[in-house]
Amino acid sequence: MLEAKLQEAGLLKKLLDAIKELVTDANFECNEEGINLQAMDNSHVALVSVLIQAAGFKRYRCDRPMPLGVNLGSLTKVLKCAKDDDICTLKAADEADLLNLVYEAKNSDRIAEYEMKLMDIDSDQLGIPETEYDARVTLPSNEFSRIVRDLSLLGESVRIEVSKEGVRFASEGEAANGSILLRQTEGSISGGKIVALSKDGEDDGEVKEEDDEEENEDDDEDEEGSKKKKKSKGKKEKKVKKEDGDEDEEMGDVDEDGEEEQDDESEDEEESNGKKRKKKASSSSKPAKKAKTSKSKKGDDDDDTSGVLIEMNQHVSLTFSLKYLVNFSKSGSLANKVQLMMSNDVPLLVAYEFDQGHIRYYLAPKIGDD
């Protein structure tokens, strides 16, 4: 059975707000690491991956891995019945088709209890390879929101270009063209190894593990299917795949390598890139969180509250659909900072890291001129 007590219902509410427009139904994969959700958006163009680490809960117990098939619209409604600062407990029995939600006001006698029907969802737990990127831009999440919102008024897509000059967001529209240039706040643009970092260093662990086992097979694609489903390779999976392709394995490698590398990095650069370093400690594929979560986060993403950090090993120039980026930017309420990770011709990773976990979006670039 699952019993997970979250200090603030607000976290769940924000997460749902962030993804409910993108995805209608999804499996909340619960296991010892925590709760993970992975899904392609309804049109299979983007992929969203959410993690709430076990340590992010006030209390967490999950005897065995269980997928909870949730209609996000329903869950959103149920969550609207909670106040942001209510203590929220999720409970589900093994094999149950109900999710129990209990809201306790911190300082009151009020206890609200809801039970929501679960559904069986064909979950393609995709293997998201942890790639190394050519560039990462770390900026205040509200700045990112503003940029994509502004440019979305003008055109459909934005070209994001990272160069020594800084990062430029440019969009062309019928009535007007726009271009916004952000320069590195201070210091020079740095390189170093660029991989997605979570504060604890565990990031997509949940997904990974499963993948590892099944992935072995070598289908790139299977992984997704394999782990939980064995589903068909319906379209959904494919997109993801592109990237995954190799990635399954990469995932595994990543963790370990990643950590090591991180250490290395710290030494090299000014710590600016620095956020990564911290994680090493938590190398076991499991999430190490707890103690440092709050700190680590600060350390990582929030080190500089308002600055722009640009790390670049190679010039990148990619074009994306603004509609999706605007959607992703809703997650700004979850973290002060957002990381944009890019390599030419591979999907953009938009990552928001918060104390209890993260939400990451992957979006394939537009090709050609469209």
Partner DNA sequence: CGGCTAAGAC
Partner DNA sequence: GTCTTAGCCG
Q: Which of 46, 53, 14 is nearest to 31 (CA)?
A: 53
CA distance 342 to 348: 5
Which residue do the tokens 């499963």 mark?
Answer: 210
SS3 of 27, please? strand
Q: Which of 21, 42, 111, 218 binds its own copies (CB under 8 A)?
A: 111
How far is the C-alpha of 361 from the C-alpha of 129, rounded, in Å?
A: 13
Q: Does 88 bind its own copies (CB under 8 A)?
A: no
Distance (Å, whole) CA 266 – CA 89: 39
Q: Which is nearer to DNA, 157 or 329 (CB)?
A: 329
Residue 81 near DNA by CB under 7 A? no
Residue 69 binding its own copies, by CB under 8 A? no
Interface characters, 137-156, with its own copies (x: CB under 8 A): ------x------xx-xx--
In the complex, minimum distance from the CB of residue 78 to its own copies, in angstroms, rounded to a whole number: 5
Q: Does 168 bind DNA (CB under 7 A)?
A: no
The two tokens of residue 205 are 């662990």
User: How far is it, in rounded angstroms, from Cα 38 to Cα 47?
Assistant: 7
Distance between CA atoms of 49 and 278, rounded to whole angstroms?
22
CA angle at 200 for the pair 194 and 203, rounded to the nearest 5°: 60
Q: Classify burial at 235, counting beta carbons within 10 Å of its beta carbon; exposed 0-12, middle 13-18, buried 19 or more.
A: exposed
Q: Which is nearer to DNA, 21 or 213 (CB)?
A: 21
Exactly one of 59, 63, 64, 81 binds its own copies (CB under 8 A); that residue is 81
Residue 224: closest CA among 196, 244, 205? 244
Nearer to DNA, 84 or 256 (CB): 84
> Least separation, in Å, of the C-beta of 353 and DNA?
21
Assess 78 for contact with its own copies (CB under 8 A): yes
Q: Restricting to residues 35-74, which ones interact with DNA according to CB under 7 A?
A: 73
Q: Which residue has the tokens 């994969």?
A: 29
Chosen from its own copies, DNA, none, partner binding at 182 (C-beta under 5 to 8 Å by type): its own copies
Q: What part of residues 321-340 is at the interface with DNA (CB under 7 A)?
A: 330
Q: Which of 58, 77, 235, 315 binds its own copies (CB under 8 A)?
A: 77
181 scored as a contact of its own copies (CB under 8 A): yes
Interface residue with its own copies among 42, 43, 179, 284 (CB under 8 A) is 179
Which positions from 175 to 214 touch DNA by CB under 7 A, shown as an x/- string?
Answer: ----------------------------------------
One symbol per residue from 276 to 315: x for binding its own copies (CB under 8 A), - otherwise; what is it? Answer: --------------------------------x-------
84 binds, among its own copies, DNA, none (CB under 5 to 8 A by kind): DNA
Residue 141 near residue 352 (C-beta atoms within 8 A): yes
Which residues between 272 and 301 bind DNA (CB under 7 A)? none
290 vs 56: CA distance, rounded Å: 7
Of the candidate residues 178, 191, 245, 299, the single one contacting its own copies (CB under 8 A): 178
Residue 345 to residue 362: CA distance in whole angstroms: 13
Give one DSSP letter per residue of 64-101, joined into a string: S-EEEEEEHHHHHHHHHTS-TTSEEEEEE-TT-SEEEE
Q: Is 106 in the site for DNA (CB under 7 A)?
A: no
- In sequence order, the β-bridge partners of residue 99 are 116
Min separation Cβ 296 and its own copies, Å: 27
* Cα–Cα nearest to 165, from 204, 193, 202, 137: 137
Which residues here bind its own copies, judged by CB under 8 A? 71, 73-74, 77-78, 80-81, 109-117, 143, 150-151, 153-154, 166, 174-185, 308
Which residues here bind DNA, judged by CB under 7 A? 20-21, 73, 76-77, 84, 149, 330
